[in-house]
Structure 1
Amino acid sequence: MNEPTRLKGWRFLLLNGAAGAANVVMLSNVPGYTVLAPYAAGSLQGVTPSYGTWATTDHMIGIALGLPLSRWFSGRFGDYRVLIGALVIYAILSLMCAASETIYFFALMRFFLGLAGGVALPLAQSVTLAQYPDDRRTLGVGFWGVMSMAPFTIGVFMGGFWAEFFNWRWLFYSNVVVVLPVAAVILALFYERGFERRIARFDTIGFLLLATVFVSAQSILNMGNDFDWFASPLLAWLLLVVLLALPTFIIWEFGERRPALDLRLFLHRNFAIATFCSLVGFLVIQGLLSLFVVQLQLLLGYTSSLAGMVYLAMIFLAMAAAAVVHELTRNVDARLIAFFNFTGFAVTFVWLGHYDKSASFDNVTTPMFFFGFSLAMFFAPLATLAMTGLAGERLIRAAEELAMLRTVFGAFGITLLGVVFFRRTPFHQLDLADQFGGRRFASLDLLTAFLDRMQAMGLSPGAAQSRAAQLIRQQAAILALNDAFLLGAMTFICLAGIVWLAYPSYASKKSRQALERLSAEELMEQP
């Protein structure tokens, strides 16, 4: 093995720029695709938008399953070599996604694309941060935090831009244009460098059981609304698979020396509480972000690029917060930061959930500024809490597990919040129809007056009734969207109380432990 030396000067800057660009592109394939999901669904043999979300959630499950593979492959073949291979595979799979003609093939390719991304994402981060001097490592973590926030803002805008002005498939062509040059740059910078081989046992059985549970559970959530849940024989069989595989996985993992998912970590109070808050919180955040950007187009008539501009507003406060939150957590109790951040989420969700009519662009954009700030402050305090009381290899394992489980729960959130919206819409539609037609209040018959006014404006009786039904459906959907945001607000109010059950956070004074914590933080804070 050649003795590695850190990159300096323009080579150091080139690596940061290239790896940061690859990170933004790979993470943007989640929110960036979500905004163009209606376009993709219409193009892929004309399926409904609910089918289009399969490609988002399956992609996130693939990312989660790629994280443990990343550690094992890098130990056997070297960080930068595996990173280059994963980027090349990512480009090939992006072309396969762009060439898809059916939703089933497209969702499968998106899953494998996520798998390649899950291998590449932590390696792009670790390879880059390893080039920072020890006394500047915190600066590198702050830079990477900014890069990790960009996809939630710029990625959504770019996805909408491709869909509206070119074609939704250009999102995947743009992947190729970025990741292949990045792979070439990393190959040139690290050519003929050696690496320290780390051969470790891989829990193949545990990994396969875990993948079975994740994929089956996500398939049930994806297909439930469209296939009438467990009235479908396929979903009933998938439920049986989950019920058999989950206890088998738990029993196997407690008997394994190097498990795929170390369940013993949940015996640590801070890790268990911080992980619970992170998983439930990210479930709500990812679910609302995905639901909102789709309904801005389907419900309120926004173009995809205009919906992307709503999310672009999040970048202004988010970037500043992501740059300083790491230092803040080292001087302030992370429970206090998390408490105020969860409260901020609750206030923002109530703000977004109180509209009873179509809101203007300005009305929607203003609370998104604060949404971006809260999102940037979400990851670091919980990562600090989760690390308290852990050290050494267990600290790194804890970081990997938190990142993996949070990604899975983000995928669950996209479908679960969609179910909330789907179930609440007909409830409000019936309620509005009762009030509009005077069935609830005998003295209030607005429907007749509305139809008379529409006919006086020149509409036929059938067209007037159609307009009334359209108005009721739209208002019902707006109220259902409000319910989803208000449910998210109540969830974060509960989390703001739960976070105080953890022990106070503290920063390690020893340089070795401080570097270990930074390495774990790098993994935990990857959205």
Structure 2
Amino acid sequence: MKPLEGRQLGWLTIALSLATFMQVLDGTIANVALPTIAGNLGASTTQGTWVITSFGVANAISIPITGWLAKRIGEVRLFLWSTALFVLASWLCGISSSLGMLIFFRIIQGLVAGPMMPLAQSLLLNNYPPLKRNMALALWSMTVIVAPIFGPILGGYISDNYHWGWIFFINIPIGLLVVLAVFKLLHNRETKIEIRKIDFIGLMLLVLGVGSLQLMLDQGKELDWFNSPLIIGLTICSIITLIALVIWELTDDNPVIDLSLFKSRNFTIATLCVCLAFVFYYGSMVLIPQLLQSVVGFNATWAGLAAAPIGLIPIILAPIIGKLGTKIDMRILVTFSFIVYAATFLWRALTFETGMGFATTAWPQFFQGFAIACFFMPLTTIMYSGLSSDKIAAASSLSGFMRTMAGSIGASIVANMWSSNEATHHTILVESISPYNPLSNEIFAKMMSLGMSYEQVAAYWAKEITNQSLIMAANDIFTIAAAAFIALIVLVWFAKPPFTPGGNSTSQTSNANH
């Protein structure tokens, strides 16, 4: 079918980008509002975390089956139904009167949200002229970058000034606008439908395996990881069922997940790069706000504002990179991205301290924007190069699923490393404060001469040691992240050009597979 042009193409880009923005925003906006939500619904903050967990588990389960559903229902129809049901679920979340009711509708919201992002990518590429597909991916990637920045800021502001339900109600006008625009533009451009047998066994293995893994990652820290029988059971269940899922999907005639995509060298390499990078990228997105609030003393709004500069450069550069994308080797852009990632993580490791100000956090965030601008679009272009247009939805859903799981794993790894390294540094620092250390005795004596009691001095140093330990543990993680991004540079150069997203020529497929 002939690609869209002019004003129609512009409106389609805006509508599909807004859909992605809305979904990504919803995954982060509730985080800072959890204490408010839990308090209003008569639940503890620990119980309130299921508001986040329930959405994540349901979303992780539904993402991988997008490709199969799109073949059976049609990409346009599936996208419209997913977005409309997401709007309805958002309204039901906002009017919930109990925690159980909210969690139930968050599960529904997560399930119907799964296909939205993969299909937004697929519909963009399939309706853009081939020579402008890099621009489409660049514009789309901006929404993935900006939404997690606005999430904590909006969530904190709404919970401080309005009823928490508006966290979900803001999806309604955006979602309705998206549905109307996409229906008007694409209702007569439906993709080919294939009636396929339902892979019930694969679907059940997917639900059990991914659900167990996501619950294990979400609840691990709270339940003290493998000291908990529940975490051990979830881990064993996820390993066995996910291995069984891979074996089943490789042998089934109508698999719910198309693992044959990994035969494409470029898809495999780009997906690995995205996933490995997301372990530390997403992990740092979770770590830095916690560090700023627990050690530096920022409130939730200022912690969100300190992270916001990361979105400035991508907004400016994305259209330029998209326009020049056909003239630049994508591997060069990704290499530049990984170098900047490494430099900014090392910058944090060398400058983060207990008394740091707003600028110390904001400047590395600002310059990391250069890395992000050269990350999503080039790697997505490499990922889809050589794949036929009818494979884009399946490829996007599979890579999106792996990226989501990589983010969850990264957040858990970073949280665990931060906790364990803090304990190690805390022990070392405490050992230096003893009656046998003349310097510590001198400091204690000077502080007591200023009118402080021994207990006050001890409490002050206990707090300082804890804060210093947390900072040192975070800087350890930043240093490891810098080294990991340098190592990823080698991996991306195994990808093989030409890099044309959504190309369907035989030669491209051949190049990608060999």
Whether the TM-score (by the shorter chain) exceeds 0.5 is yes
Paired letter, 1:505: P
State the Cα distance separating 1:178 from its structure 2 match: 2.6
In terms of mean alpha carbon deviation, does 168-177 or 373-382 score higher?
Answer: 168-177
Letter in 2 for 1:418: A
Q: Secondary structure at the match of 2:170?
A: helix
Deviation string 1:184-233 (CA, Å, 9 cap, x unpaired) is 45456667887753323443322321232222122222222222323322
Q: Deviation at 1:153?
A: 2.9
Contact 1:345 1:374 survives alignment (8 Å): yes
User: How far did 1:241 drift?
Assistant: 1.3
Residue of structure 2 equivalent to 1:471: 464
Q: Does 1:275 align with 2:268?
A: no
Asked if 1:313 corresponds to 2:309, the answer is: yes
How far apart are the structure 2 equivalents of 1:322 and 1:59? 30
Structure 1 Cα separation of the partners of residues 59 and 327 of structure 2: 33
Range moving further from structure 2, 101-110 or 118-127: 101-110
Does the 8 A contact of 1:334 with 1:504 survive in 2?
Answer: no
The CA distance in 2 between the partners of 1:376 and 1:308, in whole Å, is 20
One-letter identity of the residue aligned with 2:321:
V
> Contact (CA 8 Å) 1:160, 1:307: kept in 2 or not?
no
Match of 2:240 among 239, 244, 260: 244
> Of 10, 25, 29, which aligns to 1:28?
25
Structure 1 residue 234: Cα displacement: 1.8
Cα pair 2:133 2:501 within 8 Å, conserved = no
Structure-2 change in CA distance of 1:272 and 1:336 (3 Å): same
TM-score of the aligned structures, taking structure 1 as reference length: 0.83
8 Å CA contact retained: 1:94, 1:173: yes
Q: Give distance in 2, aligned partners of 1:44 and 1:295.
A: 28
Aligned match for 2:119, one of 103, 118, 123: 123
Aligned residue in 2 for 1:357: 354
Alpha-carbon contact 1:90-1:117 (below 8 Å) kept: yes
Q: Distance in 1 between matches of 2:383 and 2:425?
A: 41
Residue type at the aligned position of 1:21: L
* Separation (CA, whole Å) in 2 of partners of 1:173 and 1:510: 35
Contact 2:295 2:354 in 1 (8 A): no
Residues 451-500 of structure 1: CA deviation (Å, up to 9, x unaligned): 44444444443333222212211111111221221221121122123333
Superposed, 1:250-261 pairs within 5 Å as 250-261=246-257
Would you say the 8 A contact 2:388–2:502 is kept in 1? no
Which residue of structure 2 lines up, in the alignment, with residue 369 of structure 1? 366
C-alpha separation in 1, matches of 2:288 and 2:38:
17
Residue aligning to 1:427: 424
Specify the alignment match of 1:492 in structure 2. 485
Rate the CA distance shift 1:425–1:404 in 2: closer, same or farther, 3 A.
same
Query: TM-score when scaled to structure 2?
Result: 0.85
1:62 matched residue in structure 2: 58
130, 133, 145: which one aligns with 1:149: 145
* Aligned partner of residue 226 in structure 2, secondary structure: helix
**Secondary structure in 1 aligned to 2:29?**
helix
C-alpha separation in 2, matches of 1:138 and 1:157: 30
Aligned residue number for residue 525 of structure 1: none
Distance 1:498 1:139 in 2: 25
The residue matched to 1:200 in structure 2 has which SS?
Answer: coil
Change (3 A) 1:115 1:41: same
Percent of pairs with identical residues = 27
Partner letter of residue 497 of structure 2? S
Asked if structure 1 preserves the Cα contact closer than 8 Å seen for 2:217 and 2:412, the reply is yes
1:183 counterpart SS class = helix
Partner of 1:523: none
Match of 2:175 in 1: 179
Distance 1:247 1:357, change over 3 A: same
Task: Name the SS for the 1:198 alignment partner.
Answer: coil
- Whole-angstrom distance in 2 between the partners of 1:393 and 1:236: 40
How far apart in 2 are the matches of 1:284 and 1:238?
A: 24
Tell me if structure 2 keeps the 8 A contact 1:129–1:137. yes
Change (3 A) 1:81 1:334: closer
> For 2:295 and 2:334, how far apart are their aligned partners in 1?
33
What is the rounded CA distance, in whole Å, between the counterparts of 2:473 and 2:453 in structure 1?
30
**Residues 350 and 177 of structure 1: CA distance in aligned 2, closer, same or farther (over 3 Å):** same
1:303 corresponds in structure 2 to 299
Structure 1 residues 102 and 429, CA gap change in structure 2 (3 angstroms): farther
- Which amino acid counterpart does residue 486 of structure 2 have in structure 1? I
* 2:473 paired residue among 458, 467, 480: 480
Question: 1:322 and 1:38, CA in 2 relative to 1: closer, same or farther beyond 3 A?
Answer: farther
The alignment partner of 1:92 has SS state of helix
Change (3 A) 1:52 1:298: farther
CA distance in structure 2 between the partners assigned to 1:96 and 1:435 by the alignment: 55
User: Residue type of the partner of 2:280?
Assistant: V
Question: Mind listing any 5+ residue stretches in structure 1 that lack a counterpart?
Answer: 521-527
Aligned partners of 1:189, 1:503: CA distance in 2, in Å? 35
Does the CA contact (< 8 Å) of 1:35 and 1:160 recur in 2? yes
Alignment CA distance shift 1:443-1:73 (3 Å)? closer
Q: Which runs of 5+ in 2 are unaligned?
A: none
Q: CA deviation at 1:108?
A: 5.5
**Residue 95 of structure 1, CA deviation:** 3.8
From 469, 481, 498, the equivalent of 1:506 is 498
Q: CA shift at 1:364, angstroms? A: 0.9
SS state at 2:194 partner: coil
* Structure 1 pair 179–208 and aligned structure 2 pair: CA distance change class (3 A): same
Q: 1:324 pairs with 306, 320, 325, which one?
A: 320
Which of the numbers 79, 87, 92 marks the counterpart of 1:91?
87
| 8 Å CA contact 1:72, 1:202 repeated in 2 | no
Q: Aligned partners of 1:360, 1:425: CA distance in 2, in Å?
A: 22
Q: State the Cα RMSD in Å.
A: 3.6
Distance 2:181 2:334 in 1: 39
AA aligned to 1:425 is: E
Q: Which moved more, 1:276-285 or 1:87-96?
A: 87-96
The number of equivalent residue pairs is 509
Q: Deviations over 1:121-179 (max 9, x none)?
A: 33345446655455554443332233332213333432332234335543222223432
CA contact (8 A) 1:348 1:370 kept: yes
Q: Deviations over 1:485-519 (max 9, x none)?
A: 1221121122123333x1432245997549x99xx
DSSP 3-state at the match of 1:287: helix
Comparing 194-203 with 362-371, greater Cα deviation is found at 194-203
1:67-82 maps to which residues of 2 (within 5 A)? 67-82=63-78
Are the counterparts in 2 of residues 164 and 304 from structure 1 also a CA contact under 8 Å? no
Structure 2 counterpart of 1:401, one-letter code: L
Structure 2 match to 1:417 = 414
Aligned-partner Cα distance in 1 for 2:378–2:48 = 34
State which drifts further: 166-175 or 297-306: 166-175
Q: Distance in 2 between matches of 1:102 and 1:479?
A: 41
8 Å CA contact 1:56–1:411 kept in 2: the answer is no
